[in-house]
Chains A and B, each alone.
Chain A
């Protein structure tokens, strides 16, 4: 007997990625040989992987608790049986396809599929392999200044800045921006997630020649000869300029800690002041391109910094139950904010709207699609950025999670 298992209800290998949030999956019998008149067989699913690798849990249906294994009655007529898979919190993947889901009838293996628990992690904790794949994907996206990265650089400039800063849409806009970039990185290497620089903690492994580089006394960032970021080009200029005003083996001083940031208040209006400290303060803990809005996106570190800002928002949302846009405290302002900063507004540049109260150009086109989720679509709205794990509705899920923010 043989069974087929599909992750995210897709036969495509590119869809075999899960997060902490549940993914819709299905199983069917493709070869009923040996069934001898039985209408269904009990098939047991379980996750098999090395101790340091990813792991998943299962549940039948879309509610209830997850378990490390699941037994399902599967009909021999080839009809699909639905179930859900979620990454086991604390067990993200380290390598592509490092989790195997085995299907057994009794002791006999009747089918299997590999998958990856793709999670955004603290960049300081990456294995050398994860780090190398991450910077390689970044370098290829940049392609020495000629790649798709140029669009991301052009999205974050002084001209476009009011679309993304200084009003309630700050956090949603950057969430969409990071998601778009992450999906482009995944188009190059699907094993890659966008990782974060936890700026309230020492992160000595990030500021090395093998990762995001070491700044010399002028602020020129140096890389090892193995590091593809040595070929980084933005705005026609080679290299990265970054001069830390702190010892990079420790955290920058004066930034609100994670606990202090989350304690800013249970309403979005109170929490949003984090745009100044720690967000702005983290930017200006360096000299160089990252310290000004118009040039910040020239430095890859910028994306790790913002990923941490987004993680803080995610953690605050989780702690206060602020995923639902219809809950007043989840967002601030009701139609009174500038354009692009109200819940129903579409966001530039993905909406393609130029002129008037929007910037004169809209680089990059629509938001990159995903093989694992359908939200938020090509032209995201502010409200779609709130329920990123799909807690209000599974269809809202954006397809990313953080290593320290559980689903449940």
Chain B
């Protein structure tokens, strides 16, 4: 077995465990969400009273969650408020749904930038403390927040996990997605490796999204776009990537796909949508293509018919 295969197998196993745990955690939080929804925030309770309920371990989880939803703007009123919520977030003994609600409440407060500014360093430090938390849902959310802050520590941990799945904090497709918030040279090279040897279809898709803006990857996208054995999703991404980086080349390929009687409906609809939205005026002067689109507009596939009509509206006008 090659190292890559071993890696893929390990990743698959890790992903399975993570998915199972995520499902469990999501199922639990959906239940609590329903309970919380029943008690919509009253907007009458003072932030102080809400915080008292939120931080009390004697209260039930649904009551604490409902209270946490009321406190966003009170988070930054003083250090005590912020610290009490950060303590809930960090405390592995707290119920996970309460920890997630605490995180969500601080996140909502972070939208009040000026007020939140003094809280930010403590907040980010606390998030870094929980990136290794055993709960996959919390880990994923925290990694997402830090990745969106272009946090170099998290970026490195994500890259490490892609190169060595034993160190992976999240499945490879999620790691790639999080790295896409701040794409740089190292992400391109990792993404190319994943496209060449994908651990799973989702990871390949996320790697392709990262490469979509890279003009050097245009030949890869052209190959994937014309390969009928590729998934619809991969071909759809490839169409968009090629259209963005090499629009002329895409138009030629789109033309071929539309003239091909054996091409899939979805791909023809994607090609038509791209040409309708972003195509050159010259497209409308191609009589053979216009005739073919006319035919597609009268065909059996509803989605192709719809896009063909829009195409004809634009180019016949």
Report the bound CA distance from A280 to B273 in whole Å. Answer: 35
Q: Point out which of A136, A227, A280 has the most chain B C-beta atoms below 10 A from its C-beta.
A: A280
Contact B209 A239 (CB under 8 A): yes
Cα separation A239 to B207 with both chains bound (whole Å) = 12
Across the interface, A280 reaches (CB within 8 A) one of B108, B205, B208, B307, namely B108
Pick out which of these stretches binds chain A: B4-12, B154-162, B233-241: B233-241
Q: Is A276 an interface residue (CB 8 A)?
A: yes
By a CB distance below 8 angstroms, the chain B residues around A288 are: 144
Task: Write out the residue numbers on chain B whose beta carbons fall within 8 Å of the beta carbon of A250.
Answer: 37
A80 an interface residue at 8 Å Cβ cutoff?
no
CB neighbours of A125 from chain B (8 A):
none
Q: What distance in Å separates the Cβ of A272 from its nearest Cβ neighbour in chain B?
A: 9
Give the chain A neighbours of B202 by CB distance below 8 A.
Answer: 216, 218, 220
A218 near B173 with CB under 8 A, answer yes
Q: Do A253 and B240 form a contact, CB below 8 Å, given A280-B108, A281-B69, A294-B149?
A: no
Report whether B144 and A237 are in contact in the complex, using a CB–CB cutoff of 8 Å: no
Complex: how many Å from CA A237 to CA B33?
Answer: 33
Contact B266 A289 (CB under 8 A): no
Q: Which residues of B contact A164 (CB under 8 A)?
A: 113
Q: Does B290 contact A (CB under 8 A)?
A: no
Q: How far is the CA of A395 from the CA of B197 in the complex (A)?
A: 62
- Taking a contact as CB atoms under 8 Å apart, the answer to whether A165 and B111 are in contact is yes
B-binding segment of A43-51, A115-123, A254-262: A254-262
Known contacts A235-B183, A254-B36, A288-B144, A293 near B110 by CB under 8 Å:
yes
Whether A167 is near chain B, meaning CB under 8 Å from some CB there, is yes
Contact A218 B145 (CB under 8 A): no
**From A144, A226, A227, A280, contact of B278 by CB (8 A):** A144
Question: Does the CB pair B269–A276 fall under 8 Å?
Answer: no
Q: In the complex, are the beta carbons of B115 and A166 less than 8 A apart?
A: yes
CB of A247, distance to nearest CB on chain B (Å)? 7
Task: For the complex, give the distance between the alpha carbons of A141 and B36 in Å.
Answer: 39
Q: A233-B212, A276-B109, A287-B140 are in contact. Are A140 and B30 (CB under 8 A)?
A: no
Whether B114 and A165, one on each chain, are in contact in the complex, defined by CB atoms closer than 8 angstroms, is yes
Q: From B29, B117, B266, B278, give the contact of A231 (CB < 8 A).
A: B278
Does A162 reach chain B (CB closer than 8 Å)?
A: yes
CB atoms of A226 and B307 under 8 A apart: yes
Query: A165: which B residues are within 8 A, CB to CB?
Result: 111-114
A136, A219, A224, A284, most chain B CB atoms within 10 A: A284
A225, A261, A289: the one within 8 Å of B303 (CB): A225
Selected interface stretch from B83-91, B128-136, B174-182, B280-288: B174-182
Knowing A220-B206, A226-B269, A246-B33 are in contact, say whether A162-B40 is a contact too (CB < 8 A).
no
Residues on B with C-beta less than 8 A from A219 are 174, 177
B252 to nearest A CB, angstroms? Answer: 17
Residues of B in contact with A, size category: 35 or more
Please tell me if the beta carbons of A289 and B240 are within 8 angstroms of each other in the complex. no
Residues of chain A within 8 A (CB-CB) of B237 are 238-239
Enumerate chain B residues within 8 angstroms of A161, measured Cβ to Cβ: 113
* Pair B307/A166 contact, Cβ less than 8 Å: no
Contact of B109 among A216, A220, A280, A291 (CB under 8 A): A280
Closest to A167 in B: B114
Q: Please name the residue on chain A nearest to B75 by beta carbon.
A: A276
**Interface residue ranges of B30-46 to A (CB < 8 Å):** 30, 33-34, 36-37, 40-43
In the complex, the answer to whether B112 meets A280 with C-beta atoms within 8 Å is yes
CB contacts (< 8 Å) of A136 on chain B: these are: 277
Q: Nearest 9 pairs between A and B by C-beta?
A: A166-B114, A276-B72, A280-B108, A254-B69, A225-B269, A236-B213, A276-B73, A280-B111, A238-B212
Chain B residues packing against A (C-beta within 8 Å): 19, 29-30, 33-34, 36-37, 40-43, 65-66, 69-70, 72-73, 104, 107-117, 140-141, 144-145, 148-149, 171, 173-174, 177, 180-181, 183, 202, 205-206, 208-210, 212-213, 232-233, 236-237, 240-241, 243-244, 265-267, 269-270, 273-274, 276-278, 303, 306-307
A interface residues (Cβ-Cβ under 8 A, vs B):
136, 139-140, 143-146, 158, 161-162, 164-167, 216-220, 222, 224-228, 230-231, 233, 235-239, 241, 245-247, 250, 253-257, 260-261, 263-264, 273, 275-277, 279-281, 283-285, 287-289, 291-295, 338
Pairs A–B under 8 Å by Cβ, sample size 25: A136-B277, A140-B277, A145-B213, A164-B113, A166-B112, A167-B114, A218-B202, A228-B276, A231-B240, A231-B243, A231-B278, A233-B244, A237-B183, A237-B209, A239-B209, A241-B180, A245-B104, A246-B33, A253-B33, A254-B37, A261-B43, A275-B73, A279-B111, A281-B108, A283-B111
Contacts beyond the supplied A225-B273, A238-B241: 8 A-B pairs with Cβ under 8 Å:
A143-B278, A166-B115, A231-B244, A233-B212, A253-B37, A273-B73, A280-B112, A287-B140
